[in-house]
C-alpha cells in the first residue's frame, strides 16, 4: 500500500507554491488531458468494453464524449470563472471597493464508481484542475481495465505532487479516508456515502456526494406515447440500467397503459433485438464464476483477487434444500485453551499435583451448560468443545464460538477469557491460557445495503415455481469471508440433502431447477 501521508505532504507543499493557481497553468493541463484522450480514444473504448461490454458508440456517448465536452466548456469559460468579481460594497466600508476572489480548496480526493468509470472519474478531475487544486484520484477496483488506462494517463501527464492516482479496493479507500483532505468528491452507493461523510466530518472536510436515487416516469393521456416509450427504453437500457437517473418505475394513466407497454416492447426489439443479451451493442459485463477447493476455512476465498474478478457482488451456490436462501450466518471464532499442570508421583502428590485434564474439565464446567449445538437452534449461539487431548502435564481444548449477534459474539469471547482468569486465580498464574481467532463474520452487515441481492433471488425463485425459504445459516460460507473482503455474497441453495452426512447428495432434478433459477437471476441483473 502507498504511503499516503508522505504523498499528501508532498502535494500540500506543491500546492503552497501557488503554481496551480495560475490560470494559464490550469489551461495547459486541461489541454494536455484533452489531447491524450483524443489520441487514445480507442484504447479507452477497449477498456470499457472489457469491463462493461460497452459498444464503441455507448462508450463515446456516455463516457468519452461527455468528458471531452466538459473540457471544451471549461476551457471556454475558465478565465471568466477565475477572474475577481466586483460586488456591492456596504456603506460602512465607503469608499472602498469589494471583490470576490475564487480560491481553490487545496488537496481534493476524487472517489469514483464502476458504472461510468471514465466519465465519473475524469469529469470531477476536470473541475478540480479548473479550480486550481491538487488532486488524489481513486478509481473503482471493479473496473480494472478502465482504471489501468486512467492510471497510465494520469501518471504520464502529471507529476504525483500535482495529480496522484491510487489503485486498489476497500483497504485503500479506508486508508485514504483516514487522511485529511480539503475536499472530497464521492460517487457511489448511499451506504458508502454515509461512511465517507462520517470520515470527512472528523476533519470538517466539505464533501460532494453523488449517490443513488429513484427516478419515476409520469405518463398521462396527453403524452406522445411513442416518444415517451422510446425515451423510457433508451434511459432504462442505457448502461444496462446502471445509471443513478435511470427510470426506476412508471406512473402511467390507466387508459394509455397497454398502448405504452406495446410501444415499449416495440422499441426494445428495435433497439436491441428479441434477446438483448445476445446484442453486442447492449452493455452487460461477464459473469465471473469462482471454484473453491474447500469451504469456509479460507484456502479458497483468501486467495481470490477481487480486482481481477471485477464484480460488485456475487452469490455462493452451496448446500441447502430447494428454496433455501441465506443472507445471514454466524459470527465465528475458534479458541484454543491450554492448561498447564504439574505432575508428581501419585504416592507423594498431595499439595504438588495439578492434573491438567481435571482442570480442563473444570474449565468446561464454567461455560453455560445449555449453550451448545445440541441445545440451540436458529439464531441462538453456542460454545462447542470440538476436541480435548492431553495428559497430566498439559491439556489442550479446541472450541468453536458462534453467534449471529455481534454483541453476544463478543460477550461469548469475554466469558471464555473470564473462565481462564478464574482458573489462573485458583491454581496460579500461567495455569491456563487462551488464543481466540476469528474465522468469519455475519455477512448480513455487508449485504443489507444491497437490496437487489435479496429481492432478485426471491423473484427468480418465484418465476421458476420455487418457494423461497429464507433461513439463517448456523455456520458459515465462503460468501461470508468474501463479503468482508468487499464482495457482498449471500448463499443460494443447490437442493442438497443430508449435508455433511455419509449419504449427502444432490439430485439431478434439483440441479436442473436451480440452474433454471440462476438463469432467471442473471436476466434480472442484466
Strands 331-340 and 432-440: antiparallel
All three cell numbers of 162, joined, read: 500535482
133-168 confidence digits (pLDDT tens): 999 999 998 888 999 999 999 999 999 999 999 998
Q: How many helices (H) and strands (E) does the chain have?
A: 18, 19
The answer to whether the CB of 327 falls within 8 A of the CB of 443 is yes
Q: Which phi and psi angles does 425 have, rounded to 5°?
A: -70, -35
Q: What is the DSSP string of 310-330?
A: --S---EE----TTEEES-B-
Active site annotation includes 210:
yes
244-269 confidence digits (pLDDT tens): 888 988 999 999 999 999 999 999 99
All three cell numbers of 240, joined, read: 444496462
Q: What pLDDT does 294 receive?
A: 65
| Residue 213 pLDDT exceeds 80 | no
Active site annotation includes 493:
no
The answer to whether the CB of 493 falls within 8 A of the CB of 514 is yes
72-115 confidence digits (pLDDT tens): 999 999 999 999 999 999 988 889 999 999 999 999 999 999 88
511-526 confidence digits (pLDDT tens): 999 999 998 888 787 6
Coil, helix or strand at residue 427? helix
Q: What is the DSSP string of 160-221?
A: TTTEEE---SHHHHHHHHTS--SEEEEES-HHHHHHHHHHHHTTT--EEEE-----EEEE-T
Q: Where are the domains of the chain?
A: 4-210, 216-278, 301-328+444-525, 331-440
Q: What pLDDT does 84 receive?
A: 94
- 438 DSSP assignment: E
Confidence of residue 242 (pLDDT cuts 50, 70, 90): confident
| Residue 491 pLDDT exceeds 80 | yes
Among residues 347, 425, 358, which one has the least CA distance to residue 393? 358
Mean pLDDT of the chain: 90
266-297 confidence digits (pLDDT tens): 999 998 888 777 777 777 666 778 887 666 55
| Residue 337 pLDDT exceeds 90 | yes
Which helix (H) or strand (E) segment is 452 a member of?
Answer: helix 451-463
| Residue 129 pLDDT exceeds 80 | yes
The answer to whether the CB of 367 falls within 8 A of the CB of 383 is yes
Q: What pLDDT does 299 receive?
A: 67
Check for a shared fold between 4-210 and 301-328+444-525.
no
The answer to whether the CB of 318 falls within 8 A of the CB of 494 is yes
Greater pLDDT, 497 or 10: 10
The answer to whether the CB of 80 falls within 8 A of the CB of 150 is no
420-462 confidence digits (pLDDT tens): 999 999 999 999 999 999 888 889 888 887 888 899 999 999 9
Confidence of residue 467 (pLDDT cuts 50, 70, 90): very high
Task: Tell me which of 167, 244, 362, 371 is the catalytic residue.
Answer: 244
Q: What pLDDT does 495 receive?
A: 86
| Residue 3 pLDDT exceeds 80 | no
Domain 4-210 CATH class label? alpha beta
CATH superfamily for 301-328+444-525 is Zn peptidases (3.40.630.10)
For residues 366 and 158, give the distance between their C-alpha atoms in angstroms, rounded to a whole number.
64
Task: Tell me which of 167, 210, 295, 307 is the catalytic residue.
Answer: 210
For residues 434 and 206, give the distance between their C-alpha atoms in angstroms, rounded to a whole number.
46
| Residue 1 pLDDT exceeds 60 | no
Q: What pLDDT does 475 receive?
A: 81
Which CATH code of 3.30.70.360, 3.40.50.620, 3.90.1150.10, 3.30.9.10 fits the domain covering 331-440? 3.30.70.360
pTM for the full model?
A: 0.65
For residues 113 and 238, give the distance between their C-alpha atoms in angstroms, rounded to a whole number.
16
For residues 2 and 172, give the distance between their C-alpha atoms in angstroms, rounded to a whole number.
8
Confidence of residue 69 (pLDDT cuts 50, 70, 90): very high
Confidence of residue 398 (pLDDT cuts 50, 70, 90): very high
The answer to whether the CB of 137 falls within 8 A of the CB of 163 is yes
Amino acid at each position: 500500500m502507498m504511503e499516503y501521508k508522505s504523498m499528501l505532504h508532498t502535494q500540500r507543499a506543491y500546492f503552497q507554491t501557488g503554481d496551480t493557481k495560475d490560470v494559464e497553468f490550469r489551461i495547459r493541463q486541461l489541454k494536455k488531458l484533452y489531447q491524450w484522450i483524443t489520441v487514445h480514444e480507442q484504447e479507452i473504448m477497449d477498456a470499457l468494453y472489457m469491463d462493461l461490454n460497452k459498444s464503441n458508440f455507448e462508450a463515446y456517448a456516455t463516457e468519452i464524449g461527455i468528458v471531452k465536452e466538459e473540457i471544451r466548456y471549461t476551457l471556454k469559460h475558465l478565465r471568466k470563472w477565475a477572474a475577481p468579481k466586483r460586488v456591492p460594497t456596504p456603506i460602512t466600508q465607503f469608499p472602498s471597493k469589494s471583490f470576490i476572489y475564487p480560491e481553490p480548496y487545496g488537496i481534493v480526493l476524487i472517489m469514483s464508481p464502476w458504472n461510468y468509470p471514465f466519465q465519473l472519474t475524469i469529469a470531477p478531475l476536470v473541475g478540480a484542475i479548473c479550480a486550481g487544486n491538487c488532486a488524489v484520484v481513486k478509481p473503482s477496483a471493479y473496473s480494472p481495465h478502465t482504471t489501468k488506462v486512467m492510471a497510465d494517463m494520469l501518471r504520464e501527464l502529471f507529476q504525483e505532487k500535482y495529480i496522484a492516482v491510487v489503485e486498489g479496493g476497500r483497504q485503500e479507500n479506508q486508508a485514504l479516508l483516514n487522511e485529511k483532505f480539503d475536499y472530497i468528491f464521492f460517487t457511489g452507493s448511499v451506504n458508502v456515502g454515509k461512511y465517507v461523510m462520517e470520515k470527512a466530518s472528523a476533519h470538517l472536510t466539505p464533501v460532494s456526494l453523488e449517490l443513488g436515487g429513484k427516478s419515476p416516469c409520469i405518463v398521462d393521456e396527453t403524452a406522445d406515447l411513442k416518444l415517451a416509450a422510446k425515451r423510457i427504453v433508451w434511459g432504462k437500457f442505457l448502461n444496462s440500467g446502471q445509471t443513478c437517473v435511470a427510470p426506476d418505475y412508471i406512473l402511467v394513466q390507466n387508459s394509455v397503459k397497454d398502448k405504452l407497454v406495446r410501444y415499449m416492447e416495440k422499441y426494445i426489439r428495435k433497439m436491441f433485438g428479441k434477446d438483448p443479451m445476445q446484442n453486442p451493442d447492449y452493455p452487460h459485463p461477464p459473469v465471473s464464476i469462482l471454484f473453491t477447493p474447500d469451504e469456509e476455512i479460507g484456502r479458497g476465498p483468501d486467495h481470490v483477487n477481487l480486482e481481477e474478478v471485477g464484480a460488485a457482488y456475487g452469490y455462493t451456490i452451496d448446500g441447502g434444500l430447494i428454496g433455501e436462501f441465506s443472507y445471514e450466518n454466524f459470527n465465528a471464532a475458534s479458541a484454543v485453551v491450554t492448561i498447564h499442570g504439574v505432575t508428581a508421583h501419585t504416592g507423594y502428590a498431595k499439595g504438588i499435583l495439578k492434573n491438567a485434564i481435571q482442570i480442563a474439565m473444570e474449565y468446561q464446567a464454567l461455560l453455560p451448560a445449555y449453550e451448545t449445538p445440541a441445545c440451540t437452534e436458529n439464531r441462538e449461539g453456542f460454545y462447542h468443545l470440538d476436541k480435548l487431548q492431553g495428559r497430566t502435564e498439559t491439556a489442550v481444548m479446541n472450541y468453536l464460538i458462534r453467534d449471529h449477534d455481534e454483541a453476544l459474539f463478543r460477550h461469548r469471547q469475554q466469558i471464555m477469557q473470564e473462565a481462564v482468569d478464574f482458573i489462573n486465580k485458583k491454581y496460579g498464574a500461567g495455569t491456563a491460557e487462551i488464543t481466540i481467532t476469528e474465522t468469519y463474520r455475519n455477512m448480513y452487515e455487508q449485504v443489507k445495503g444491497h437490496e437487489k441481492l435479496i429481492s432478485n433471488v426471491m423473484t427468480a425463485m418465484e418465476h421458476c415455481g420455487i418457494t423461497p425459504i429464507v433461513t439463517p445459516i448456523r455456520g458459515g460460507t465462503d460468501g461470508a469471508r468474501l463479503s468482508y473482503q468487499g464482495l457482498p455474497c449471500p448463499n443460494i441453495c443447490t437442493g442438497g440433502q443430508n449435508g455433511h452426512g455419509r449419504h449427502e447428495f444432490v439430485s439431478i432434478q434439483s440441479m436442473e431447477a436451480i440452474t433454471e433459477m440462476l438463469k432467471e437471476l442473471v436476466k434480472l441483473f442484466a
